[in-house]
Amino acid sequence: MAAFPGSIAFDEYGRPFIIIKDQEKQRRLTGNDAIKSHILSAKAISKIVRTSLGPKGLDKLLVSQDGDVMVSNDGATIMKQMDVDNEIAKLMVQLSQSQDDEIGDGTTGVVVLAGALLEQADVLLDKGIHPIRIADGYELAARAAIEHLDSIATKFPVDPNNLEPLIKTAMTTLGSKIVNKCHRQMAEIAVKAVLSVADLEKRDVNFELIKVDGKVGGRLEDSMLVKGVVIDKDFSHPQMPKVLKDVKIAILTCPFEPPKPKTKHKLDVTSIDDYRALRKYEEEKFNTMVSQVKEAGATLAICQWGFDDEANHLLLKRELPAVRWVGGPEIELIAIATGGRIVPRFEELNPEKLGRAGLVREISFGTTKDKMLVIEECANSRSVTIFIRGSNQMIIDEAKRSMHDALCVVRNLICDDSIVYGGGAAELSCSIATAKQADKISTIEQYAFRAFSEALESIPFALAENSGLPPMQVVTSVRGRQIQENNPALGVDCMGKGTNDMKEQHVIETLKSKKQQIMLATQLVKMILKIDDVRTPNDMQY
């Protein structure tokens, strides 16, 4: 079978047939036109989040189809919430999400860098350089940049007795967020939370032990770290005591209700005597259940299911405080924190399976009816809860996202204590290094190296621009000083502190985060440069 231009082929008998149906009516781009179209889509996404970069970056207001309003500065959240149809734009969203899942920070920077790399690739395509040569050059340049990052990285001592360096690092992360008015307090909460659950010997942090919860009302400054668990429940009866000390907790996943016969038959109550007998049976069962909990030595019952008013009254009468309708994740957290076992049947309850806590108290919020339970001084104090307050749900949601970033940064420092300096200092240093490397290359990849070097400067450019500084003047000045003084810690003075030395300002980023940004952005750009044809499902008609 021989194929001819125009997607027309001939079978073995010489009869022509069309491979793609209605091709003349379909609009498809191929070759460099397709790649340029992809670059245009990616640049549009990059420009949207570019203004959110840095401590003076702007927030985005996103309105859903239902009219829900969300204000955020977090790159991954902005990208995820955008209604994107274009396939390449969706790849940019996934890029940001990958950075968030792996590192938890640098989600805006990675998108800005990818957009800058594609912008430079557009120029190289106009010069007639093949996309594969550009992609290969970018990959070599990324390796050179990552090697250079290793050479300029310094060690960051993690000392549980000196939390100040870790707090300052978390403050760097929170500087651009909505919580920056109390970012010292938030940074302290993040550091203490991570260190509470960290295993410093194994250099590991179990995020499952950190719960971030929030409640509308109060100020951001009222946020606190609880060495235990906070659950959005109250005691089942208003007359139960509000504060319990030296508590032994029965954690139950069985309901306080009589067992139901597992048959297809039904029970008909035809007389008052039958009703009284049924009521007496229920009362005996309730008494048995409560007695079993009391005999095990429990002073508080936490139940995953509900119980009716009769059982509730009986619990109050027998002086056994109880909490009902506690969700599965909270039940598990309580079990981890108190060292208790989750009990599925009353018969299995014994003193060894009880959880222990020094204090359980019910807190209320002002004049509202909202109440929550705080379980503190637990047997296993590694489980902690960050309890965030705010004037409305939007602020609480953004504070939670900001806290997640700060927690991830502190975790990354514990897992890998290598750091580089922020404020665009690391990017400028890598830009200088890759530009020098380009001079040593004799092949056409040297153009890609220089383009990569210029793209790296987009981060300090955006930082200066978002801080209201003249970007060209500031970046050129800092770049020149880095070369003259051989100081990779010089960056953009976004906060106007009078010095460009990020070491003095204590603006640092984890080495792992910076490497991941460069690596992920380069991989995505390589992928986009190799897509020279796009066929939607509607095009694939044979």
Looking up tokens 């390449």 gives 88
Residue 150 is among the residues annotated as catalytic for this protein: no
Rounded-to-integer distance, Cα 134 and Cα 140, Å: 10
- How do 243-252 and 342-343 pair as beta strands? parallel
Rounded-to-integer distance, Cα 57 and Cα 366, Å: 35
Q: What share of the chain is helix, strand, coil (3-state, %, to 5)?
A: 50, 20, 35
Query: CB-based burial of residue 535 (10 Å sphere; 0-12 exposed, 13-18 middle, 19+ buried)?
Result: exposed
Residue 107 is among the residues annotated as catalytic for this protein: yes
Q: What is the DSSP letter of 56?
A: T
The DSSP secondary structure of 237-283, one letter per residue, reads STTS-SEEEEEEEEEE-S-BSPPPP-SS------SHHHHHHHHHHHH
Options 100, 234, 397, 405, the catalytic residue = 405
Decide: 18 and 25 in contact? Cβ < 8 Å: no
Rounded-to-integer distance, Cα 167 and Cα 188, Å: 6
Rounded-to-integer distance, Cα 411 and Cα 316, Å: 44
Residue 405 is among the residues annotated as catalytic for this protein: yes
Cα separations in angstroms, 450 against 42, 177, 249, 310, 460: 21, 34, 65, 78, 17
Which helix (H) or strand (E) segment holds residue 293: the answer is helix 272-295
Options 77, 108, 510, 522, the catalytic residue = 108
Residue 476 is among the residues annotated as catalytic for this protein: no
Q: What is the DSSP letter of 368?
A: S
Give the residue among 518, 509, 513 at the shortest CA–CA distance from 433.
Answer: 518
Options 77, 107, 169, 338, the catalytic residue = 107
Rg (CA), the chain: 31
In the chain, how many H helices and how many E strands?
17, 20
Rounded-to-integer distance, Cα 151 and Cα 436, Å: 15
Decide: 19 and 7 in contact? Cβ < 8 Å: yes
Give the up-direction half-sphere exposure of residue 70: CA atoms within 13 A in the CB hemisphere: 20
Active site residues: 74, 107-108, 405
